[in-house]
């Protein structure tokens, strides 16, 4: 009986893996050496719907003309092929901290996909991709606290690093046991509302879309994450970086892209994140960043060198999320002991002094202020 319970815990939470070393991971950066990035087609946006352990998400970030900040997200998760669940999340940030953030997280029933798997449906929820592959509509009536009716239209090409966008895990990389992939629409416009109990909030403005697949237990794939979403009047800059646990050599993988309407300026894996200054979180001892630097580099399609940086103070965090807060305490302690995990997400959007994107393309230099939404996630040492 105890061995069965151990196996169920491993299926749900996972246990620490052996040290396979960096030879057991093939970073998407290897593809990006010869093909820095590939523009997305509608086919790329299909849900994978894996039957093995995975977490697959579509997340839409909104930065309205009125200064509102929110995201909506569909999560599809499969635990060892035993149980599949879907969830719709919506969060509206209260930037002046005068009231709590609006947070809605609702289990979805009777989920299904369109025949070509580019659209998702469940009871009172639909995320549909248009026939031409340029527009998503997001509708949800799963929670009266956050009724969603939004449209996101791509204004720059979609992006994936390398040819496939995938980082592979396994001791036989021709037959990998895990994968990680990110697809981005780096620059979009948004229209529509999220209606709360206090009434509708207009989210006309800018948006960013990410389709992510973690084709293995998430805390086996990554020990830490960094994310930056910059949206300015004429440029957007996106950076997603993860660091694997020691089992895969603490390998750092970063994908980044800078775009303007109608064009990707630069993209690939030559990006980096530096936590310049940190402070220890008294609750969990994680080194919460207070000053940060994001960088991008590469070349344009016509061979011009590109360098870009966003650097500055993060101000007070918008939120700190204990990912396992709703897990029963005794399970949380077992998981922390067995798998070495204590996942926390720190979210930021500096308001007092907006951060700037400093972009150099060949001899041309551009500095542009914009809105930044960023996250620093700590999962395990």
Per-residue pLDDT tens for 166-216?
Answer: 999 999 999 999 999 999 999 999 999 999 999 999 999 999 999 999 988
112-137 average pLDDT score:
98
Nearest to 279 by CA among 311, 245, 314: 314
The residue ranking higher by pLDDT, 327 or 233, is 233
To the nearest whole percent, how much of the chain has pLDDT over 90?
A: 78
How far apart, in whole angstroms, are the C-alpha atoms of residue 348 and residue 311? 13
3 state SS for 234-298: CCEEEEEEEECCHHHCCCEEEEEEEEECCEEEEEECCEEEEEEEEEECCCCCCEEEEEEEEEEEE
- pLDDT at residue 313, as a whole number: 96
How far apart, in whole angstroms, are the C-alpha atoms of residue 144 and residue 139? 13
∠348-349-352 over CA atoms, to 5°?
A: 125
265-273 average pLDDT score:
98
Q: Reply yes or no on whether the pLDDT at 134 is more than 60.
A: yes
Structure tokens given for 248: 């895969």
- pLDDT at residue 32, as a whole number: 98
270-275 average pLDDT score:
98
Measured between its terminal Cα atoms, the distance across the chain in Å is 31
- pLDDT at residue 330, as a whole number: 44
- pLDDT at residue 166, as a whole number: 97
- For 136-152, give the DSSP string: EEEEE-S-TT-EEEEEE
The residue ranking higher by pLDDT, 54 or 75, is 75
pLDDT in tens, 39-73: 999 999 999 998 888 889 999 999 999 999 999 99
Task: Give the pLDDT band of residue 2 (cuts 50, 70, 90).
Answer: very low
294-323 average pLDDT score:
95
Q: Reply yes or no on whether the pLDDT at 336 is more than 60.
A: no
- pLDDT at residue 1, as a whole number: 32
Alpha helices in the chain (DSSP H): 2-12, 28-32, 218-221, 329-339
Task: Give the pLDDT band of residue 373 (cuts 50, 70, 90).
Answer: very high
- pLDDT at residue 97, as a whole number: 81
The residue ranking higher by pLDDT, 277 or 10, is 277
CB burial of residue 180 (10 Å; 0-12, 13-18, 19+):
buried
Q: Reply yes or no on whether the pLDDT at 152 is more than 90.
A: yes
Nearest to 230 by CA among 210, 205, 258: 258
Residue 178's DSSP bridge partners are 169
pLDDT in tens, 104-122: 999 999 999 999 999 999 9
- The alpha carbon of 207 is separated from its chain's Cα centroid by a whole number of angstroms, namely 14
CB burial of residue 209 (10 Å; 0-12, 13-18, 19+):
buried
Residues 6+ apart with CB under 8 A from 190: 60, 62, 64, 150, 151, 152, 153, 203, 204, 205, 206, 207
∠305-307-310 over CA atoms, to 5°?
A: 165
- The alpha carbon of 252 is separated from its chain's Cα centroid by a whole number of angstroms, namely 16
Contact in structure between 38 and 162 (CB atoms under 8 Å): yes
- pLDDT at residue 6, as a whole number: 37
Q: Reply yes or no on whether the pLDDT at 341 is more than 90.
A: no
Task: Give the pLDDT band of residue 98 (cuts 50, 70, 90).
Answer: confident
- pLDDT at residue 5, as a whole number: 37
Q: Reply yes or no on whether the pLDDT at 326 is more than 80.
A: no
Mean pLDDT computed over every residue of the chain? 90
């Amino acid at each position: 009986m105890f061995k069965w319970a151990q196996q169920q815990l491993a299926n749900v939470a996972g246990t620490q893996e052996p040290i396979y070393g960096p030879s057991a991971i093939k970073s998407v950066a290897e593809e990006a050496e010869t093909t820095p990035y590939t523009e997305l087609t509608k086919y790329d946006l299909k849900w994978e719907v894996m039957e093995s352990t995975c977490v697959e998400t579509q997340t839409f970030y909104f930065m309205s003309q009125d200064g509102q900040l929110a995201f909506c997200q569909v999560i599809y998760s499969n635990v060892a092929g035993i149980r599949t669940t879907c969830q719709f999340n919506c969060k509206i940030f209260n930037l002046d901290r005068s009231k709590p953030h609006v947070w809605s997280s609702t289990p979805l029933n009777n989920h299904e996909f369109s025949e070509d798997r580019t659209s998702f449906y469940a009871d009172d929820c639909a995320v549909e991709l248009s026939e031409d592959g340029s527009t998503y509509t997001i509708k949800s009536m799963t929670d009266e606290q956050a009724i969603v009716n939004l449209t996101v239209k791509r204004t720059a090409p979609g992006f994936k690093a390398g040819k496939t966008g995938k980082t592979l895990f396994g001791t036989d990389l021709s037959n990998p046991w895990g994968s990680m992939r990110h697809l981005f629409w780096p620059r979009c416009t948004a229209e529509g509302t999220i209606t709360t109990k206090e009434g509708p909030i207009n989210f006309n403005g800018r948006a960013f879309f990410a389709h992510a697949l973690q084709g293995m237990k998430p805390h086996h794939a990554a020990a830490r994450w960094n994310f930056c979403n910059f949206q300015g009047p004429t440029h957007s800059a996106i950076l997603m970086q993860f660091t694997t646990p020691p089992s895969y050599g603490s390998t750092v993988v970063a994908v980044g892209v800078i775009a303007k309407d109608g064009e990707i300026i630069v993209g690939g894996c030559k990006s980096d994140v530096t936590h310049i200054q940190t402070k220890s979180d008294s609750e969990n001892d994680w080194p919460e960043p207070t000053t940060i630097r994001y960088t991008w580099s590469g070349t344009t399609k016509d061979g011009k060198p590109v360098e870009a940086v966003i650097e500055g103070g993060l101000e007070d965090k918008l939120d700190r999320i204990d990912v396992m807060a709703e897990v029963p305490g005794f399970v949380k302690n077992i998981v922390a002991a067995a798998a070495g995990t204590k996942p926390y997400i720190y979210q930021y959007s500096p308001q007092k002094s907006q951060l700037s994107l400093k972009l150099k393309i060949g001899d041309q230099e551009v500095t542009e202020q914009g809105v930044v939404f960023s996250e620093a996630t700590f999962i395990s040492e």
